[in-house]
Amino acid sequence: MTLPILIERDGHRTWLKWHRGRRRAADPVFTGERIIEAMRLGASVEVDLVIHADQGCAVLHDLTLERETTGTARVRDTSAAALRQLHLRDNQGKPIEATVMLLEDLCALLASQTVHPDALLQLDFKEDRQALTPQIVSGFGTSVLPIAGSVILSGGDFDAIATLAASAPGLRTGYDPCHRGALAELQASLNYLGFIEDALATAPDAGMIYLAYEIVLAAADAGVDIIAPIHAAGRRVDAWTINSVTPHSIEQVARLLQLKVDQITTDDPEGLAEVFSQ
């Protein structure tokens, strides 16, 4: 079986990022088992971070607990101890054995493992700079520092990313400019190159720029290559998110590969790897 890690086309390597820790579309999100598997194989894997009541971060995407866990409150109002007692839910909403992890739990788990030198854990911070406190920043650095060489921190507020990253020397950073109305503005202006220039200027230290794949393809349809200026600046491009493997998504991925994106975020890296290994 082809490992669900990357696709090589025309001398260019495109990584397949395990979105929310999924190897397959049927997988539940954020389980330690899958995250460890990805890191041992040398994959790129992404998890999300939101702030909890004890001034730390939980490995969850939503600001509320109902969809992803057996809890029923805001993450911000829930203690660390209470979060650890909650079970994750599968794609049908059924509780599973795996429980919610905090950032320090995940980092300690990975620090106890032998990870592949190519493995990359993306921590996607879902909140903004105003949400940060000195305690959150300090706790983040303490947790991440032992594994910082295998981690990239990303988000839509680069001030928040830079603040957190400063607490863990050696930590790589990435920036996602496709938030806070940016997509609607871009669809109206069609100023693709200006959008990329602004992103590069906003996040001068970001090694990875995360772009909604629809933007990459729409720009190409308009005759604009938005990958080239990112590569010219010495950065890499992640195109997000291919949710499932269908004839239409296969066509989209083929175009992204032709455009030489460096990484594709997907909920089914195994399915894509199988298709493009043929």
What size, in residues, is the chain? Answer: 278
∠ CA 205-267-255, nearest 5°, is: 70
For residue 229, is pLDDT > 90?
yes
C-alpha dihedral, 196 to 198 to 204 to 206, nearest 10°: -50
Residue 97 burial (10 A CB sphere; 0-12, 13-18, 19+): exposed
Task: Give pLDDT, residue 1.
Answer: 63
Residue 209, strand partner residues: 175, 237
239 close to 255: Cβ distance less than 8 angstroms: no
Task: Give pLDDT, residue 181.
Answer: 81
First-to-last alpha carbon distance for the chain, in angstroms, is 11
Domain ranges of the chain: 11-276
Task: Give pLDDT, residue 182.
Answer: 81
E strand or H helix at 121: strand 120-125
Chain centroid, CA 190 distance in Å = 26
Of the CATH numbers 3.30.750.200, 3.20.20.190, 3.30.420.610, 3.40.50.720, which one belongs to the domain with range 11-276?
Answer: 3.20.20.190
Residue 14, strand partner residues: 7
Q: Using pLDDT thresholds of 50, 70 and 90, give the confidence band for residue 53.
A: very high
Task: Give pLDDT, residue 139.
Answer: 98
> Which residues have a Cβ under 8 Å from the Cβ of 181 and sit 6 or more positions away?
none
Q: Using pLDDT thresholds of 50, 70 and 90, give the confidence band for residue 32.
A: very high
For residue 197, is pLDDT > 70?
yes
> Which residues have a Cβ under 8 Å from the Cβ of 228 and sit 6 or more positions away?
none
∠ CA 96-99-101, nearest 5°, is: 145
Beta carbons within 10 angstroms of residue 181's beta carbon: 7
Task: Give residue-wise pLDDT tens across range 74-130.
Answer: 999 999 999 999 999 999 999 999 999 999 999 999 999 999 999 999 999 999 999
pTM: predicted TM-score of the whole model, two decimal places: 0.97
- The one-letter amino acid at 107: C
In sequence order, what DSSP letters do the residues of 10-65 get, joined into one string? TTEEEEEEEGGG-SSTTSPSS-HHHHHHHHHHT-EEEEEEEE-TTSSEES-SSSBS
